[in-house]
Amino acid sequence: MTREPNEPDEPRAKDEPRQKVVRVRGSRRAQLTAVEGTLTDSEAEATLRGPRPQATPKDRGPNDERLRTDVPPHY
């Protein structure tokens, strides 16, 4: 049996939550609604990032502490 190109691998249940495409006025791109139980991109990124490793005293320079705590203005 051959599968159509746009056909999913497994059939979906009718009551399974799905994302909806929402048109955003004044924007060139649409947005997807969140599905309950999923993470947003920023939440998923935060789970991937671990704590910053501490520098050893021999690795530190005179302004390393300030450089590590400074955040660029566009963040």
> Lowest-pLDDT range, 10-14, 18-22, 23-27?
10-14
Contact (CB, 8 A) for 22 and 31: yes
| CA dist., res. 56 & res. 34, Å (int) | 42
27 or 68, which is more confident? Answer: 27
25, pLDDT greater than 80: yes
**What's the pLDDT tens digit per position in 39-59?**
777 777 777 777 777 767 676
Q: pLDDT grade, residue 23 (50/70/90)?
A: very high
pTM: 0.33
